[in-house]
């Protein structure tokens, strides 16, 4: 009987489709499940991530599957969550911390930037810190203060941290697993406005290398660089531009630190024009770094100045004003028109 059941199970597994369509939130859940099944040292920590499954249900079902010793509900104390994760990493575990909302990360900012980011360097590589900090980030969900932020630049500026942001379900599935396997601390920004956006996930083929950017739409007239939720907005702008006979190339950064600049530079050398789009405020930002690097390394390929489209340099406003603050396809296209006018 046991052999018969095992044979039926194996046959069922073999018939499961390798490519399925799921929203990003389910892809992250599947990626976490795969990482936990693969390594007993992977632990999940965060506020309400246990039986509830987290505010966004990213960890739904994992507490029941792996138990309360591996999916831990924590007190409402981000500094304590990160500090505990550091201690766990020192003792051979791979903790994955969920910060419930982007604006809640700042009470743990000191632990991340002054401890977690520096310990491996302080020990000349002998002490690894395989800690992942998951942060839902960005706008477009109509949330209240402290629940809609784009703080990625703070962490990208901090040496010792890897900073990632997937834009698709497939990337979310593969990148969270790679982040957990990394020997270094990873700040993993999840664009919460895209949590319910469906996409194909291929569980049979490994995704792109962790710190690689990639062209997601070919074009010839100008390049748009984006990451996270803004990739979808950039693709929307490219579709609208195509109706006007303008060909826009879109590059998804995927990794914010380090940045894989080669596809970016190759695209700029091809099109001669660059627009960088992001939800975060523009001053001293990821977009600023891209603009500076392109100016340094591809200056003679540029037919126009690099233009940045970003959130305004004010605190993230109340929900009723978020659509005025956040860049949309029209703002990107306005920058494209300015670039093409040179």
Could you give the residue numbers annotated as active site? Answer: 147
Strand-strand pairing, 132-137 and 248-252 = unpaired
Residue 97 and residue 81 in contact, taking contact as beta carbons nearer than 8 Å: yes
CA dihedral 246, 251, 252, 257 (to 10 degrees): -140
Residue 227 and residue 279 in contact, taking contact as beta carbons nearer than 8 Å: no
Residue 58 and residue 27 in contact, taking contact as beta carbons nearer than 8 Å: no
Residue 160, Ramachandran bin (φ over 0: left; ψ between -120 and 50: alpha; else beta): left
In the beta sheet, which residues pair with residue 96?
44, 132
CA-CA distance, 233 to 228, in Å (whole number)?
10
> Which helix H or strand E contains 94, and what residues bound it?
strand 94-98
Residue 46 and residue 105 in contact, taking contact as beta carbons nearer than 8 Å: no
DSSP assignment of 282-307, as one string? STTSHHHHHHHHHHHHSGGG-SS--E
């Amino acid at each position: 009987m046991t052999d018969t059941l095992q044979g039926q199970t194996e046959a069922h597994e073999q018939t499961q489709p390798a490519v399925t369509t799921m929203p990003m939130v389910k892809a992250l859940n599947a990626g976490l499940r795969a990482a936990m099944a693969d390594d007993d040292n992977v632990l999940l920590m965060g506020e309400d991530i246990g039986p509830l499954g987290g505010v966004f249900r990213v960890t739904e079902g994992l507490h029941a599957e792996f138990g309360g010793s591996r999916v831990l509900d924590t007190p409402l104390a981000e500094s304590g969550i990160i500090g505990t994760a550091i201690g766990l990493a020192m003792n051979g575990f791979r903790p994955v911390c969920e910060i419930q909302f982007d604006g809640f990360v700042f009470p743990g900012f000191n632990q991340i930037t002054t401890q977690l980011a520096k310990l491996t360097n302080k020990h000349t590589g002998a002490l690894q810190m395989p800690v992942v900090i998951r942060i839902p980030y960005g706008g477009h969900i109509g949330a209240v203060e402290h629940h809609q932020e784009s703080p990625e630049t703070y962490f990208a500026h901090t040496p010792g941290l890897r900073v990632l942001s997937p834009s698709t379900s497939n990337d979310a599935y593969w990148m969270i697993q790679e982040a957990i396997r990394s020997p270094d601390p990873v700040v993993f920004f999840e664009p919460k406005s895209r949590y319910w956006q469906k996409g194909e996930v291929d569980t049979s083929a490994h995704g792109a290398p962790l710190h690689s950017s990639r062209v997601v739409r070919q074009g010839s007239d100008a390049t748009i660089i984006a990451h996270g939720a803004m990739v979808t907005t950039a693709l929307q702008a490219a579709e609208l531009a195509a109706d006007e006979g303008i060909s826009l190339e879109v590059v998804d950064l995927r990794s914010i630190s380090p940045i894989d600049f080669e596809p970016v530079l190759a695209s700029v050398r091809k099109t001669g024009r660059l627009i960088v789009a992001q939800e975060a405020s523009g001053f001293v930002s990821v977009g600023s770094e891209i603009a500076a690097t392109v100016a340094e390394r591809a200056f003679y390929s540029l037919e126009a100045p690099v233009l940045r489209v970003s959130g305004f340099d004010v605190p993230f406003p109340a929900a009723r004003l978020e659509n005025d603050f956040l860049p949309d396809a029209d703002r990107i296209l306005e920058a494209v028109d300015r670039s093409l006018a040179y």
